[in-house]
Structure 1
Amino acid sequence: MPVSLIRRIASPKKALTTAAVAAATAGIALTSAPAQAATHASGPDAKAIAHQMIPDAAQFNAFSRIVEHESGWNPHATNASSGAYGLVQALPASKMSSAGADWKTNPKTQIKWGLDYMNSRYGSPAKAWSFWQSHGWY
Structure 2
Amino acid sequence: MSRISVRGFAVASATAVTTVGAVVGVASGSTPAADDNNFEAAAADTTLLADIPAGRQAQVQTASLTQQADAQASAADATAKKSAEETARIQAAKDAESKKKSAEAKAKAERDAKKREAELAASRSSVRDASSFSAQGSYSVAEVQAMARQMMPADQFQCFSEIVSRESGWNYRAQNASSGAYGLVQALPGSKMASAGADWQTNPATQIKWGLSYMNSDRYGSPCAAWSFWQANHWY
Unpaired segments of 5 or more residues in structure 2?
A: 1-134
Match of 1:87 among 178, 184, 187: 184
| Structure 1 gap segments, 5+ residues each | 1-36
Q: Distance in 1 between matches of 2:149 and 2:143?
A: 10
Name the SS of the counterpart of 1:122 in structure 2: coil
Offset at residue 84 of structure 1 (A): 0.3
> What residue is the counterpart of 1:14 in the other structure?
none
Query: Distance between the aligned counterparts of 2:228 and 2:182, measured in 1?
Result: 22
Q: 1:98 pairs with 195, 204, 207, which one?
A: 195
Q: Give, in whole Å, the separation in 2 of the partners of 1:55 and 1:124.
A: 10
CA distance, structure 1, for counterparts of residue 153 and residue 138 of structure 2: 21
Matched residue SS, 1:44? helix
Q: Distance in 2 between matches of 1:39 and 1:52?
A: 20
- Max Rg structure: 2
In the TM superposition, what are the counterparts of 1:1-138 in structure 2 within 5 Å? 38=136, 40-57=138-155, 59-120=156-217, 121-138=219-236
Query: CA-to-partner distance for each residue in 1:55-93, whole Å, 9 max, x for gaps?
Result: 323x10000000000000000001101000000000011
Q: Aligned partners of 2:208, 2:190: CA distance in 1, in Å? A: 13
Cα-Cα RMSD? 1.2
Query: Which residue in 2 is equivalent to 1:28?
Result: none
For 2:141, give the aligned amino acid: G
- Residue 112 of structure 1 and its aligned partner are, at CA, apart by 0.2
Aligned residues: 101
The CA deviation at 1:42 is 2.6
Determine the C-alpha separation between the residues in 2 that align with 1:50 and 1:136: 22
For residues 48 and 70 of structure 1, the distance between their equivalents in structure 2, rounded to whole angstroms, comes to 18
CA distance in 2: counterparts of 1:107 and 1:44, whole angstroms: 12
1:46, distance to aligned residue in structure 2 (A): 0.8
AA partner of residue 139 (structure 2): A
**CA offset at residue 38 of structure 1?**
2.0
| 8 Å Cα contact 1:77/1:86 also seen in 2 | yes
Change (3 A) 1:112 1:39: farther
CA displacement at 1:103 relative to structure 2? 0.1
Of Structure 1 and Structure 2, which has the larger fraction of its residues in helix?
2
Secondary structure, counterpart of 1:129 in structure 2: helix
TM (norm. structure 1) is: 0.70
For 1:87 and 1:131, locate their aligned partners in 2 and report how far apart those are by CA, in whole Å.
18
In the TM superposition, residue 54 of structure 1 has moved relative to its aligned partner by 1.3
